[in-house]
Amino acid sequence: MKTSASLINKGQKSIWMDACGTTGLLSGMLLLTVLLGGTAPATAADLPGVTATEIKIGNTDAYSGPASAYGVIAKTESAFFKMVNDQGGVAGHKINFISYDDGYSPPKTVEQVRRLIEEDQVAFLFQNLGTPTNTAIQRYVNMKKVPHLFISTGADKWGDYQHFPWTMGYQPSYRTEAQIYTKYMLKEMPSAKLGILYQNDDFGKDYVNGAKDILGDKYAATVKEASYETTDATVDSQLATLQAAGVDALMVGATPKFAAQAIKKVHDLGWHPKMFFLTNVSISVGAVMAPAGVENGIGIITTGYMKDPTDPAFKDDPGMNEWRAFMAKYMPGVDMTDGNYSFAYGVSMVMLQVLKQCDGDFSRTNIMKQAANLHNAYDPVLLPGITVNTSPTNFHPIKAMQLEKWDGKTWERFGNVIEGAG
């Protein structure tokens, strides 16, 4: 599947790319500068994915497969860039947002990203979804020196600016999130036995590692682990195993399909863990809590960094009203209780800020430079007290979260905003 905010025009490859390959582009330009004894002005041919009137942005998302609930994120981003184009674009350039379905399958992601970079000649990648899928392309895009921005996963490793200077995450680290849950558990239930259900990849393992950070040498005696594969049909047997192990606190690091299954199965087992922590990437009311049964999840604790569309406190919030107006015009008739729509709008606003900061210079180097120089960037759907900031040594744009509890209708916030170490 492919979506686009405008028609695709095949960009020209530069003579430097022909001679040196993509990775030689910057070094070739520097050599030319030295030979001429001055600054070499960038031309359209030197800028992959950029013409006098257009910028191409590449994306992959799970329109199908086990994480297809996230497909609405890229659909919203496509609609967002249509809005930008309707408003005249950025610095005289319209946005051509090219999004392909990868089915949450790493080999498919590799195939589609190569297509985006080598055939479609996109200027950069934005919001590619998934931890295992982005892991599969990270080395390739860094070798190609293609900005790999605000990727849709909170794995802690997306902040590794030293080894992967072209990759930047967006949402808070899963590892920090797990640290917060574990600290809260120890405060409220010092002798608790913790069960962790996690997806068997870097996404899920961040929850294990976060708990280990806090528990240290007490981890083995305190925690019972159970993992699942994205190809599994259910997580029923894993949950039954945790229940049988006498677990009285449960932490679930799972994508929406399996998170909804877990909530329902815990209820069906007649199991009542004293604490139930749920990853914040699977707390959408429309995509998770409703399918699981809203009554079945009462008391579940998560961390939030975005305003929940179902929270009455944000009924008249200016930022949420801005999002609602956008949705009414560009995506009418969708499930407005699904927080994935508001997330996509917020992160797209930050991407727009990066493009505006480029001031017409859409070279890959400058795009990455501006992404790494954000100061309280505008994301209208963030919770009060949570901001977006980056620097050349800070590739974790959002590091703060707030604990929330499900009351059967919405996520009720409690406690203070907590700043992670990130």
Position 7 confidence tier, pLDDT thresholds 50, 70, 90: very low
Place of tokens 């899920």: 204
What would the mean pLDDT of 274-284 be, rounded to a whole number? 96
Strands 418-419 and 411-413: unpaired
Position 182 confidence tier, pLDDT thresholds 50, 70, 90: very high
| Pair 211, 250: CB distance under 8 Å | no
Q: What would the pLDDT profile of 85-111 be if each residue is shown by its tens digit?
A: 999 999 999 999 999 999 999 999 999
Domain 2-172+320-399, second-level architecture: 3-Layer(aba) Sandwich (3.40)
pLDDT of residue 12: 31
| Domain range annotation of the chain | 2-172+320-399, 174-304
Alpha carbons 79 and 302: distance in angstroms, whole number: 29
| Pair 297, 273: CB distance under 8 Å | no
Alpha carbons 68 and 126: distance in angstroms, whole number: 18
Q: How many CB atoms lie within 10 A of CB 190?
A: 7
Hey, what long-range contacts does 159-162 have (CB within 8 A, 24 or more apart)? 159/394, 159/395, 159/396, 159/422, 160/395, 161/372, 161/392, 161/393, 161/394, 161/395
Q: Which ranges in 216-359 belong to alpha helices (H)?
A: 219-222, 236-244, 256-268, 290-292, 318-330, 339-357
pLDDT of residue 17: 33
Inform me whether the pLDDT recorded for 294 exceeds 60: yes
Q: 2-172+320-399 and 174-304 share one CATH topology? A: yes
Say which residue, 309 or 18, is predicted with more confidence. 309
DSSP character at residue 25: H
Instruction: Give the chain's mean pLDDT.
Output: 90
| Pair 392, 378: CB distance under 8 Å | no
Alpha carbons 393 and 375: distance in angstroms, whole number: 13
* CB-based burial, 130-163: b 16+ in 10 Å, e otherwise: bbbbbbbbbeebbebbbbbbbbbbbbbbbbebee
Q: What would the pLDDT profile of 190-247 be if each residue is shown by its tens digit?
A: 999 999 999 999 999 999 999 999 999 999 999 999 999 999 999 999 999 999 999 9
pLDDT of residue 148: 98
Third-level CATH fold of 174-304 = Rossmann fold (3.40.50)
Can you tell me whether residue 135 is helix, strand or coil?
helix
Question: pTM for this one?
Answer: 0.84
Give the type of residue at 44: A
Q: What would the pLDDT profile of 206-221 be if each residue is shown by its tens digit?
A: 999 999 999 999 999 9
Inform me whether the pLDDT recorded for 145 exceeds 60: yes
Q: What would the pLDDT profile of 50-88 be if each residue is shown by its tens digit?
A: 999 999 999 999 999 999 999 999 999 999 999 999 999
Position 419 confidence tier, pLDDT thresholds 50, 70, 90: confident
